[in-house]
Structure 1
Amino acid sequence: MSTVDPQARSFQEGPATYMLPVSPSLIYLHFPSLSQSSHQNDAQEWNRLDEMHKGIDAFLGHKLSYAPLSEDAKRILEIGWAPHNFLISLAHSLTYRSGSGAWAIQAAETYPDATVTAVDLSPLPPRPLPKNVTFLKLNIVEEELPFEPASFDIIHTRFLLTHLPKWEDVVQRVTALLKPGGWLLVEDIDHIALDDNGGAGPGVQKFYNIYHAFAATQNVDHMVGSKLEGTLKRLNLFSIVNGIEVKCPFHGGSNDPSLHALGRTMRKSLITVYKDLNPRLVAAGLTPEVQQGFFQEAGDRARGLYVKLYMTWSRKK
């Protein structure tokens, strides 16, 4: 077993699995909005999403992925935006939180001779885009993907599957668009905060018990992250399935500036997305008191809370 060291972070390389020991800090988590009035695609929200991308980009050493991507990729597909307000409307219609387009822009700049297609249900922000970026308005759950099979070299999705019903079906549909030898890049999390003993305080536990129970009524699995690698292997669509599990503590302690930056981004993001509640979640039991219990315990450095982020890169057969 050899040791690989991307951006001065050592992790062990096995046949298909990578485990990354990360110094204490935070990494960005993408939680769905609990707001009565959903976050709109305004300058403030786009800036927040840009900052999140910058944090993750720094963590990855300014690379698109840990995958050994080909230098001559010609077609890249980005499906990187999560549902906008699924906790209110998923049972009836699915809408998406528009991204800032940051990953698609980075991919286009990395591969100036490639065509990068960004898929979303909402427009991208009014910002300059590289000439090789195209945008397609599309509901990936309800609509057919209008692309030829085996036509993309790279497909990327980040913090999306954890919000989708029938997420395995989405993975299979998307993989069908990859060329043989193409790479599927998926990053997601388990929506649960733990401590070093594998549990959490009563406030955090109550919050997530209600949160997960309501999501289950919408056929959404918020524990997708830890299932990614096993599912990708079981589908038998890939010759290689690589995965990293990153333990992401809620508080600092690392000498790595990029991890500290991610921590600041996470704190800002949590304040933004959890500051309001929608009526259906309140009716399900997620009251302001429960919300406050979560904030208090998540802010307690002595509890040592963390979540796990999972990054996978898989090569199609």
Structure 2
Amino acid sequence: MGGKISFAPLANPQRILDVGAGSGAWAILAAKQFPQAEVVAVDMAPFPDRPVPPNLKSQQLNLIDPLPFDRESFDVVHIRFVLEHLSTARDVLTRINDLVKPGGWLLLEDIDPPTVSSKEAKAILLTVSNFTEFRKSKGLILASELEPMVRELGSYDNVNAHKVLIPVNVPTEDEALAQFAQQWRISINRFITGPVNEHAGWITPELQQGWIDEFDTLPWTATLPMFFIWAQKRA
């Protein structure tokens, strides 16, 4: 996006909300790009202890609970890598929509499970298959559903979508794409091998070890679909 925080033509926002701020990277970039704006970063976890611009403040909250903000009080509301994890994603999106001012922007970014190809890495193939089926069994949304979900809100005439296919473990001459893909390769590995999945029921310790054994030793490729949605609320 050329160093910008969104594909949307953001002009002069005064209040920006980052939902599911995580590391705070997007919120910090937004605060630097728009120093005149008040940027609010919210997440279930505490905001990381890191230097931030003076116009950024953080708040710890649970999206399942009522949001402590006035209706139509933000010019920009951004939510990334959050809705895909929530069985109540549609309800949360409806409540987040209420926070966007008329003429303001709703920005969504999320990913779908990867499509993996390999003739040898059986554990990696099975891991991704199990994860995809687990998500289906829990009724979790796909990133590809976000655009129609935004249209169904009925608040937006200007709805835009951009799909990027991230080639993971695939050589590319595009240096920027290669760096982006490498970051995702690391993130996927951390997610699969991390403790968060120990009690999820979709992966066994044996399969997790198989993933670890094959990850750097056997040939495999993956395509990770990422979706960017930017929609301007009807004035």
For this structure pair, what is the TM-score category when the shorter chain's length is used for normalisation? 0.7 to 0.9
Q: Call closer, same or farther: CA 1:209–1:125 in 2, change over 3 Å.
A: same
Q: 1:115 is matched with which residue: 15, 34, 38?
A: 38
2:161 corresponds to: 243
Give 1 or 2: higher strand fraction: 2
1:189 corresponds to: 111
Amino-acid identity (%) = 36
User: Which fold has the larger relative contact order, with Cα–Cα distance below 8 Å and residues 6 or more apart in sequence?
Assistant: 1
* Paired residue secondary structure (1:124): coil
Q: 2:184 is matched with which residue: 266, 269, 276?
A: 266
How many matched pairs? 232
Question: Is 1:163–1:220's contact at 8 Å kept on the other side of the alignment?
Answer: no
User: What root-mean-square deviation, in Å, do the aligned CA atoms of Structure 1 and Structure 2 show?
Assistant: 2.6
Q: Which runs of 4+ in 1 moved over 3 A?
A: 200-205, 212-217, 276-279, 292-304
Which string of whole-angstrom CA distances, capped at 9 and with x for unpartnered residues, describes residues 201-223 of structure 1? Answer: 75445323432444455x451x5
Which string of whole-angstrom CA distances, capped at 9 and with x for unpartnered residues, describes residues 222-270 of structure 1? Answer: x521111122122222111110111111124333221111122223223
Question: Is 2:17–2:41's contact at 8 Å kept on the other side of the alignment?
Answer: yes
1:310 corresponds to: 227
Q: Structure 2: which 5+ runs fail to align?
A: none
* Paired residue secondary structure (1:272): helix
Query: What CA distance in whole angstroms lies between the structure 2 residues aligned with 1:129 and 1:136?
Result: 14
Query: What CA distance in whole angstroms lies between the structure 1 residues aligned with 2:212 and 2:198?
Result: 19
Q: For residue 148 of structure 1, report the CA deviation from its aligned partner.
A: 1.2
Q: Call closer, same or farther: CA 1:294–1:226 in 2, change over 3 Å.
A: farther
Q: 1:73 is matched with which residue: 13, 23, 33?
A: 13
* Paired residue secondary structure (1:127): coil
1:170 corresponds to: 92
Question: Is 1:75–1:151's contact at 8 Å kept on the other side of the alignment?
Answer: yes
* Paired residue secondary structure (1:207): helix
**TM-score, length basis structure 2:** 0.86
2:128 corresponds to: 208
Query: What CA distance in whole angstroms lies between the structure 1 residues aligned with 2:24 and 2:215?
Result: 30
Query: What CA distance in whole angstroms lies between the structure 2 residues aligned with 1:273 and 1:305?
Result: 15
Q: 2:2 is matched with which residue: 61, 70, 73?
A: 61
Query: What CA distance in whole angstroms lies between the structure 1 residues aligned with 2:124 and 2:72?
Result: 44
